[in-house]
Amino acid sequence: MTTIPSQHQHYALVTETWRPQINGVANTLGRLFDGLLQNNNRIQLVRPAQSGEATGLIDHGLAQEVLVRGMPIPGYPQLQFGLPATRRLKAHWQSNRPDAIYLATEGPLGWSALRAARQLGIPIVSGFHTNFQQYSECYGLGLFYRPAVAWLRWFHNQSVLTLAASSSQQRELSRMGITNLMLLGRGVDCELFHPARRDQILRASWGVGEQDLVLLHVGRLAAEKNLQLLKRSWTALRDMPGYEGRLRMVVIGDGPLRETLERDMPDAIFTGALAGVELARAYASADIFVFPSLTETFGNVVTEAMASGLAVNAFDLAAAHQHLRDRYSGGLAPAANEEVFLSNLRWLISDSEGRRSVRLHARHRACQLGWPLILQRFEDYLRRASLSSRRVMGAIPSKQG
């Protein structure tokens, strides 16, 4: 992609989730926001007020936060989704007009931002961060799959560009009828997530010795993450011949299924959600990353595990599809093929030399995925949308008095 020469711009980012919330969308949006600021762009961040926050405008100089009303998300009472705010956003953007708007979520707040932007003629770039259409089946709401796809197709086709997290997702969105797709991708911090953070004291607190193996899972503990396969995998492998008492399962994260999983996996260690250096140390102190999800748009935890020097076992989707090679830099099973998933996991446990090679290749690949390239690509997409709008406006004859 040709880089568009840098000129400082004014952008708005609209999102339902924001730090310090721990999820892939908040992590990615935080990176994009920081990257735009570092290049001296003016940024408006539109998000729902979280618990203890008041709605209104917070001015940080180059950055402004526009906090709107929200309501708790079912199953996640600590999080809020934004309520419609069309009139407020339209009034704000009339007096403080951005060059382009990035919509990260398709809920009521995203819809109202889309509506206000279209009424004002502000170009829109949208990002596809969550496969909500797949969640309907995970929650027994299969009848909503087709309406969800229709809504997402309509929503994203209102934008100049829709940014996909991975090449496999880009193909899936194209099959859904979403046009103007471009690949954004994701980066990983290879200085934070590093094998050197391996901590024998932490491993000892998990009850494992030098020669024992730690299987690790990191993520939201919710139905859409296919965690029944995590449970089945652990049940099948914890007493694997030759490894009796030498395997430990550690689960990092929180969510509505945590209590059920703790009951069903009583010999696993559940840490709750971790972040920063504490999370990086936990990654590096494990050996094999077990990731059974089938609904990821990308899966930042996959590249974090790779950067930490873990052997990743996953399905051939999203980040794993894009950045791993089966039995070279990870274990990749065809989508939903649990037999191959378990076979790969057994191989990673039993073949110490193969596991060592996989870990080295995974770390090497992850270190090619820095954030600077992603941030430059994101800024170029926003600037391209802004310039396309200016060209359209310039082609419209002005009225003569």
CATH number at 216 reads 3.40.50.2000
362 and 374 in one domain? Answer: no
Between CA 68 and CA 84 the distance in angstroms is 9
Q: 177 and 33 share a domain?
A: yes
Phi, psi of 98 (to 5 degrees): -80, 160
Residues 202, 321 within the same domain: yes
Residues 117 and 199 in one domain: no
In a domain, 129, yes or no: yes
How many separate domains does the chain show?
A: 2
Residue 35 has pLDDT above 60, yes or no: yes
Buried b (16+ CB within 10 A) or exposed e, 235-269: eebbeeeeeeeebbbbbbbbbebbeebeebbeebb
Predicted local distance difference test score (pLDDT) of residue 72: 76
Residue 142 has pLDDT above 60, yes or no: no
pLDDT band at 390 (very low <50, low <70, confident <90, very high): low
pLDDT value, residue 394? 39
Task: Report, as an integer, the average pLDDT of 66-88.
Answer: 81
pLDDT at 141 over 90: no
CA-angle at 51, arms to 46 and 52, nearest 5°: 100
Strand partners, 294: none
Is residue 4 scored above 80 in pLDDT? no
232 and 354 in a single domain? The answer is yes
Q: What pLDDT was estimated at residue 388? A: 79
In a domain, 295, yes or no: yes
Q: Could you tell me if 305 and 218 are in contact, meaning their C-beta atoms sit under 8 angstroms apart?
A: yes
CA 25/CA 71 separation, integer angstroms = 18
Residues 163 and 285 in one domain: no
Q: How far is CA 93 from the centre of its chain?
A: 28
Q: Give dist(CA 180, CA 186) in Å, integer.
A: 19
Q: Is residue 350 part of a domain?
A: yes
Q: Are residues 174 and 297 in the same domain?
A: no
pLDDT score for 168: 87
Structure-token match 């402004």, residue found: 64
Please give the full DSSP string across 23-64, using - where no structure is assigned: SHHHHHHHHHHHHHHHTT-EEEEEEE--TTPPPEEEE-SSEE
User: How confident is residue 132, by pLDDT bands cut at 50, 70 and 90?
Assistant: low
Distance CA 243, CA 78 (A): 40
* Whether residues 158 and 20 fall in one domain: yes
Please determine, for residue 78, whether its predicted confidence score (pLDDT) is greater than 70: no
Q: Is the pLDDT of residue 397 over 50?
A: no
Residue 1 lies in a domain: no
Is residue 68 pLDDT above 90, yes or no?
yes
> What was the pLDDT predicted at 23?
85
Q: State which H helix or E strand residue 271 sits in.
A: strand 269-272
Predicted local distance difference test score (pLDDT) of residue 77: 61
Write out pLDDT tens, residues 287-330. Answer: 999 999 998 989 999 999 999 999 999 999 999 999 999 999 99
Does residue 81 have a pLDDT over 60?
Answer: yes
Quote the Cα angle for 320-323-326, to 5°: 65
Domain presence at residue 400? no
Identify the domain containing residue 341 by its residue range. Answer: 195-366
Residue 382, burial from CB neighbour count under 10 angstroms (0-12, 13-18, 19+): buried
User: Half-sphere exposure (CA, 13 Å, Cβ side) for 325?
Assistant: 9
Which stretch of DSSP H or E encloses residue 44? strand 42-48
Same domain, 390 and 336: no
Secondary element (H or E) of residue 57: strand 56-59
Q: Is 89 a domain residue?
A: yes
**What does the alpha-carbon distance between residue 214 and residue 247 come to, in Å, rounded to a whole number?**
6
Considering the entire predicted model, what is its pTM?
A: 0.89
Tell me if 2 is assigned to some domain.
Answer: no
Model pLDDT for residues 191-248, shown as the tens digit of each residue: 999 999 999 999 999 999 988 999 999 999 999 999 999 999 999 999 899 998 899 9
Instruction: Please tell me which residue, 183 or 77, carries the higher pLDDT value.
Output: 183
Note whether 171 and 300 are same-domain residues.
Answer: no
**What is the distance between the alpha carbons of residues 2 and 380, in angstroms, rounded to a whole number?**
9
Separation of alpha carbons 216 and 54, rounded Å? 38
What's the confidence (pLDDT) of residue 220?
93
- Whether residues 360 and 375 share a domain: the answer is no
Asked whether residue 401 is assigned to any structural domain, the reply reads no
Of 45, 89, 49, 48, which is closest to residue 63 (Cα–Cα)?
45
Mean pLDDT of the chain: 90
Query: Which amino acid belongs to residue 54?
Result: A
**Which is more confidently placed, 146 or 205?**
205
Helix, coil or strand: residue 347 = helix
Q: How many CB atoms lie within 10 A of CB 165?
A: 26
Structure confidence at residue 348 (pLDDT)? 98
Sole residue written with tokens 């995970």: 138
d(CA 236, CA 247): 12
Average pLDDT value for residue range 37-46: 96
Same domain, 158 and 203: no
